[in-house]
Structure 1
Amino acid sequence: MNAGNEARKRLGSDKASRQKTVFLIIAIVPSLLGYLLFTLYPNVMSVYYSLLDWDGLSGAVFVGFDNYSNMFKDDFVWRALYHNLLYMIVVPALTVLISLLLAYLLNNKSYKENAVYKVIYFFTNVLSTVVVALLWSFIFDGSFGMLNGVLKLFGLNMNDFYWLGDTSTAIWALVLPMVWGGVGLYVVIFINAMSSIPASLYEAAVLEGARPMTILFRITIPLIRGVIRVCVVFVILGSLKGFEIIMVLTNGGPEGATDVIGLYMFNLAFGKEYHNYGYASAIGMLLFVILVGAKLIIDKLYPEEHVEF
């Protein structure tokens, strides 16, 4: 009798194990195949393409590391990387700071319109990058742009000045649509993180006479450091590899004043004037190394912390 019960238990256990194995295969294999096909394989092939002199269509010629040696001598690469560095510093700082302040106001002030504000802030993330860029192209227009109109109300007549057409202002003008397009998402993320902080901590701080800014920098920010860290990583990496807004608004102009490494690589591979897929792949490998290095530096300078409350 006992032997029969044990046999049935083993059969049941084996059946459950097989079902678990089948479920894991069904759940994991499609995602794994997609990763291998659409992520790993293109990256591996990009390494191979970077060793070729190839326009993407005709026969390829193996040139070894010539593309890499030419890349380090290319002034356009270093100029584009300099612009990336500027955006990597300015855009994340403004995006995270503005998002934190807006999220703090919405989370700690009982405005009746809070739900509407959240939708309005997040609306920019619903729009495509091209739509955002086109909106800002009208704002920056010299003849009928909103920016010049607002400045004129304050007594600053710009005389049809086109912000994206001047080498001294174009690179800084592009910061505005980049920040505007990213703030909404991080406001929602920070609101959700702040709402998990116990209200008793804020009540105790208020009883102690703490001011709102003191509460923000002494309580709120330290308790959501982990979330802020993740957001900073996303914004920095996004500012390094992103180029869509720049491509639509200026395409790297005027005179290369807004060119970034991702746009330069794209134009080399698919532009009207150049079709050097091998050289573009070498630049892509440089961008990959920079992204990995940036992530490692962030992890070193801003280590992950676990906060309990």
Structure 2
Amino acid sequence: MNAGQAPLSRKPHGSGKAAKQKAVFLIVAIAPSLLGYVLFTLYPNIMSVYYSLLEWDGLTDAKFVGLDNYAYLFKDHFVWRALYHNLIYIVVVPVLTVLISLLLAYLLNNKSYRENAFYKVVYFFTNVLSTVVVALLWSFIFDGTFGLLNGFLELFGLDMNDFYWLGDSRTAIWALVIPMVWGGVGLYVVIFINAISAIPKSLYEAAHLEGARPMTILFRITIPLIRNVIRVCVVFVVLGTLKGFEVIMILTNGGPEGSTDVAGLYMFNLAFGKEAHSYGYASAVGMLLFVILVGAKLIIDKAYPEKEVEF
């Protein structure tokens, strides 16, 4: 090598082998999740788009009808009735669920109750129960003859005359809100407790020294500092309420007279109900619901954008 000439750079021995090992490791680590996503999410969604263009009952040969299912979709008043019920639920259920969860989490995190650990277990217990168990539990509570709700009202002198809360179209849709909220509060209480516990105690101590009231601290300190967590929870509750129908199916199956039907349940009954199956049209309803879900997510992102919060 001549003087003043820079030495040639050489790759360290084994660097190529290490890169290959890293690539193999990443493939092995990602492949199961990617395969599961393709098989159970991406592929069914693609096939749903295809099925929505067919007239098919699942048994006979499918007939390609193009956009006819979508044309009929906009004339089907049952779909719009179901979506109207969805709208009621996504306005009422997320508001009640988030507000109740936030208030309970705030009390448990900032009040020195001796039973705090017990309360946390009790609130989360509803999430341990399956949806079927929750629905059956509330079916007994709403029962007209032996129901706990009517028995409780009778203690205050209100004789309901064996009134069945889920059998009347005036009360059924509102009665279903209760198990939906009750079944979801526990999870969000735990989430909000963890979020609130991350807020520095010095902020609360300074607020107490300034004479701030509990509600002032809640709305001026706690909520602004965990707004991103609240935003995520609102998204989860709204999307879960839009696509969920299990509790409604078990308790009322959309009745009485369709007064509690929702889009997800209507789609399910079209495809798997006791009457004639219509997988093609059910897939078209599913595509409409998918568009609404995406639209709801975009609206939430626009109306309640994520902001960086510093303690």
Give the TM interval when normalised to the shorter protein.
over 0.9
Q: Which residue does 1:151 correspond to in 2?
A: 153
Q: Which residue does 1:264 correspond to in 2?
A: 266
Please show how residues 113-262 of structure 1 align to structure 2 within 5 Å.
113-262=115-264
Separation in 1 of the partners of 2:12 and 2:158?
Answer: 84
Separation in 2 of the partners of 1:178 and 1:30?
Answer: 34
RMSD: 1.2
- For residue 306 of structure 1, report the CA deviation from its aligned partner: 1.3
Separation in 2 of the partners of 1:57 and 1:36?
Answer: 26
Separation in 2 of the partners of 1:154 and 1:100?
Answer: 30
Separation in 2 of the partners of 1:308 and 1:241?
Answer: 34
Separation in 1 of the partners of 2:265 and 2:282?
Answer: 10
Partner amino acid for 1:254?
Answer: P
Partner amino acid for 2:30?
Answer: I
- For residue 289 of structure 1, report the CA deviation from its aligned partner: 0.2
Partner deviation per Cα, 1:205-259 (whole Å, 9 max, x = no partner)? 0000000000000000000000000000000001100000000000000000000
Range 187-196 or range 21-30, more displaced: 21-30
Gaps of 5+ in 2: 1-7
Q: Secondary structure at the match of 1:165?
A: coil
Q: Which residue does 1:95 correspond to in 2?
A: 97
Partner deviation per Cα, 1:91-143 (whole Å, 9 max, x = no partner)? 00000000000000000011121111111100100100010000000000000
- For residue 7 of structure 1, report the CA deviation from its aligned partner: 9.7
The share of aligned pairs that are identical, in percent, is 83
Q: Which residue does 2:43 correspond to in 1?
A: 41
Separation in 2 of the partners of 1:303 and 1:165?
Answer: 41
Separation in 1 of the partners of 2:196 and 2:63?
Answer: 56
Separation in 2 of the partners of 1:141 and 1:161?
Answer: 8
Separation in 2 of the partners of 1:281 and 1:251?
Answer: 19
Partner deviation per Cα, 1:27-60 (whole Å, 9 max, x = no partner)? 1112111111111111001000000000012100
Q: Secondary structure at the match of 1:245?
A: helix
Separation in 2 of the partners of 1:7 and 1:13?
Answer: 14
Q: Is the 8 A contact 1:52 1:60 kept in 2?
A: yes
Q: Is the 8 A contact 1:103 1:191 kept in 2?
A: yes
Separation in 1 of the partners of 2:168 and 2:275?
Answer: 23
Partner deviation per Cα, 1:180-200 (whole Å, 9 max, x = no partner)? 000000000000000000000
Q: Secondary structure at the match of 1:155?
A: coil
Separation in 1 of the partners of 2:14 and 2:210?
Answer: 62
Q: Which residue does 2:26 correspond to in 1?
A: 24
Separation in 2 of the partners of 1:253 and 1:261?
Answer: 13
Q: Is 2:282 the counterpart of 1:297?
A: no
- For residue 8 of structure 1, report the CA deviation from its aligned partner: 9.2
Separation in 2 of the partners of 1:151 and 1:100?
Answer: 28
Q: Is the 8 A contact 1:267 1:274 kept in 2?
A: no
Runs of 4+ in 1 over 4 A off after TM superposition: 6-9
Q: Is the 8 A contact 1:240 1:291 kept in 2?
A: yes
Partner amino acid for 1:13?
Answer: S
- For residue 265 of structure 1, report the CA deviation from its aligned partner: 0.2
Q: Which residue does 1:3 correspond to in 2?
A: none
